[in-house]
Amino acid sequence: MTPIVSIIMGSTSDLPVMEKAAQLLNDMHVPFEMNALSAHRTPEAVEEFAKNARTRGIKVIIAAAGMAAALPGVIAANTTLPVIGVPVKGSVLDGVDALYSIIQMPPGIPVATVAINGAMNAAILAIQMLALSDEKLAEAFAAYKEGLKKKIVKANEELKEVKFEYKTN
C-alpha cells in the first residue's frame, strides 16, 4: 500500500519516541513510511524528500528532531504539505531547545507542533487531517476517541472501589 503519511526522524535515536506514532497509524490502518534524515548531515536528501513527497502520494509529514530541531522547518520550507513537528527530548535542555526551534517558524512556513516527545498526538493530528476527506477513517477515529472516553470512565469506576485507610497522628 502506498504510504500517505511520512514519519521522518533526525536520527534513529528518535525511534523509541516515534514508535508511538507508527503504532497508532498502523492500528488505524493508515499507510505510512518511516525514515531518518538529518537537516544538518544530509540536507540535500531532506530537500529532495520534501520536494517529492506530494508526487509520491504523501499527504502529511510528521517530522521529529531534537536539539537544534531544524528538520521540521527545512521540510516545511520545501513542501506545501502539512508538517507536524515533534520536539524530542535529548539534550541537557530536556527538549525545550527543540520545542522552541520548531515553534518559532517564520511567517509562511508553519509547522504544527505537539508537546515534547508527543509522537502520539502528532499521529492523532495527522489522522484528523486525513479524516477530513476519508469518511471511513473519520468513523474509525471517532471510535478511537470513544474508546479513550470509555477507558477514563472505567478508570474512574475502579477508583471508587479503592479503599484507603486514613491514619491520624
pLDDT (tens digit per residue) in 118-162: 999 999 999 999 999 999 999 999 999 999 999 999 888 888 888
CA 150 – CA 32 distance, rounded (Å): 28
Determine if residue 11 is labeled as part of a ligand binding site.
yes
How far the first Cα of the chain sits from its last, in Å, is 65
For 150, the grid coordinates are 470509555
User: Which pTM value belongs to this model?
Assistant: 0.91
pLDDT (tens digit per residue) in 20-34: 999 999 999 999 999
| Alpha-carbon dihedral angle through residues 115, 88, 110, 133, given to the nearest 10 degrees | -70
Mean pLDDT of the chain: 95
Determine if residue 54 is labeled as part of a ligand binding site.
no
Q: Which residues pair with 144 in a beta bridge?
A: none
Enumerate domains of the chain plus CATH numbers: 3-133 (3.40.50.1970)
For 47, the grid coordinates are 530537500
83-88: strand order across its sheet: 32-36, 5-9, 60-66, 83-88, 112-113
Determine if residue 6 is labeled as part of a ligand binding site.
no
How many CB atoms sit inside 10 A of residue 143's CB? 10
